[in-house]
Structure 1
Amino acid sequence: MDRYTTFRDFYPFYLSQHQDRTCRRLHVVGSLTVLALLAYAVGTQQWQALWALPVVGYGFAWVGHFRFERNRPATFTYPLYSLMGDWVMFWQTITGRLPL
């Protein structure tokens, strides 16, 4: 596996790991749920809800990878770039630049 030193180089690889539409949809659902849970925690000052953020975010994504994409999430090798990639892919999806 290549060692990526910049996010610009990593992102095409990241997208190649998200070819299955159901996997991408699960990523979007997970990201939206993370944002909703974050808003809830801040709005109600229920700070303990923040512990659920990684479970929700990674949970949906990993189901997508293991069940539909049938690959190993890039998070295990590139945790920071993968987190960045998830939010870039989320933004590109909700703005119509990537198909859902």
Structure 2
Amino acid sequence: MSGFSSFSEFYPFYLGEHRNRTCRRLHFVGSSLVLGVVLLALWSGEWRWLWLAPVAGYGFAWIGHYGFEKNRPATFRHPLYSLLGDWVMYGQMLSGKIRF
């Protein structure tokens, strides 16, 4: 992976790292759980739940990468672009632009 000068330059690479449908599904589940944990913490006022958000998000994603995609998550070299890519891909899966 080389350096990327913008997110729009990075995102095609990011999508290429998510060709496996099971990996994308695991990302979707993890991201949905992150939203659920954040909403639970906001609704209940119990901020201690928030530690589960990164565990759910990264846990499911990394299982997808190591178990199904057979690659190293982009998070390790491009953490901010990768986090943004997760949410852009999530939105594109919800809208039907990307199949999951």
Range into which the TM-score falls when normalised by the shorter chain: over 0.9
Aligned to 2:38: 38
- 1:4-25 deviation digits (Å, cap 9, x = unpaired): 0100000000000000000000
- 1:41-68 deviation digits (Å, cap 9, x = unpaired): 0000110001111111000000000000
RMSD between aligned residues:
0.5
After superposition, residues 1-100 of structure 1 pair within 5 angstroms as: 1-100=1-100
Q: TM-score, normalised by structure 1?
A: 0.98
Give the gaps of 5 or more residues in structure 2: none
Q: TM-score, normalised by structure 2?
A: 0.98
Q: Hey, what's the Cα distance between the residues in 2 that align with 1:54 and 1:33?
A: 10
Which stretches of structure 1, 4 residues or longer, exceed 2 Å deviation after superposition? Answer: none
SS at match of 1:5: coil
Q: Hey, what's the Cα distance between the residues in 1 that align with 2:23 and 2:46?
A: 30
Q: How many residues align?
A: 100
Q: Hey, what's the Cα distance between the residues in 2 that align with 1:12 and 1:79?
A: 16
